Amino acid sequence: RGTFCCHVEALTQQRSDGIFTLTPDEPTGLFNATIGGMGLTGIIMRVTLRMIKVGSLDVDEVLTPFASLDEYFEQAEAADCNNEYAVAWLDQLSGERGVLMTANHADNGNFITGSHVPKLQIPFKLPFNALNKWSLKAFNTAFYAAKKRKSGKRVTSNYQGFFYPLDAVENWNRLYGPRGLFQHQSALPEVNAKQTIRLMLGAAQRADQASFLTVLKRFGSIQSPGLLSFPQPGFTLTLDFPNRGEKTLKLMQELDDLTVAAGGRVNPYKDARMSAETFAASFDDWRVLESFRDPVIVSDFWKRTALKLPKNGNESNFSELIQSVESSVS
């Protein structure tokens, strides 16, 4: 169904130079810059969204274990075509095995949200990283075995468990210890995806880094209207690594390099360390967003990346665009 951007019908935005009501067909390009603009074009005050009608808050889920990436890629397109949702979990430490999870909205009329009570909790901040290679190997083995026992069976459950599995553990982030985590998410063209994902998993293993939650999804072919939208046709791989300082940062840069070499892009919306060069290689239109950026708004990310790059593109100034449109209308 495309990205979130595809379902925004209108928005009202406050900028330092005025308040604007924007729709997808507005001529300046500010709408597209805003819905894929990292919050830099102004403050969104109101949004009109087009939603899909569902028959329940429950989902019917089917689990399909796979032993290799070859098996996953053989099923991925059909899984997307035949289901509303499809996502795969990878056991990053074992090689290539994982579980493909597909789901559709149930039609049982259950719209009771209930109260969300986590099954487990981490009651205090741990002084160490509990997510080491050995603990994750044990967890991954148990998780894979549990999912394999349910293989092929349709299970109806509340939407929260499918869409937000980490919420089952309150304060789950404390498992990473006091230094937290780095997340790396890449979008890869379909032609290079399988090979690149293998290289990325291999790089993590060589670096002796264990990813707690490794997720693989297929993006569809619907073009996102957002100026700096992250998704592109192909696949996306997400890896979460405990922050082990320079060793982890070196791995993250290697994953960046593999992504860019494959013609992909690194997700700036989840980033805490991407270089300006990686950002520019991932998003050709960053200069256009800079031209739309509200002059009184800037982020640490933008300072670290875009504002360190040469601004010698063909971008236009937003105020000039507004004046041009007003002149043509009058």
pLDDT, one tens digit per residue, over 256-309 is: 999 999 999 999 998 999 999 999 999 999 999 999 999 999 999 999 999 999
In the DSSP assignment, the letter for residue 223 is: P
**329 pLDDT exceeds 50?**
no
Mean pLDDT of the chain: 91
The greatest distance separating any two alpha carbons of the chain, rounded to the nearest whole angstrom, comes to 69
Angle at 164 between CA 38 and CA 154, to 5 degrees: 130
User: Which residues are paired to 235 by β-bridges?
Assistant: 188, 218
What is the reported pLDDT for 323?
54
SS percent in the chain: helix, strand, coil, step 5: 40, 25, 40
What is the reported pLDDT for 217?
97
pLDDT, one tens digit per residue, over 27-42 is: 999 999 999 999 999 9
Strand order in the sheet with 8-15: 18-22, 8-15, 43-49
When comparing pLDDT for 218 and 323, which is higher? 218
Dihedral, CA atoms, 257, 76, 96, 234, nearest 10 degrees?
A: 0
pLDDT, one tens digit per residue, over 90-124 is: 999 887 999 999 999 999 999 988 777 777 888 88
**128 pLDDT exceeds 90?**
no
Q: What integer is the mean pLDDT of 176-198?
A: 96
pLDDT, one tens digit per residue, over 148-166 is: 888 989 999 889 889 988 8
Give the pLDDT band (50/70/90) at residue 328. Answer: very low
Give the pLDDT band (50/70/90) at residue 317. Answer: low
Pairing verdict, β 18-22 and 8-15: antiparallel
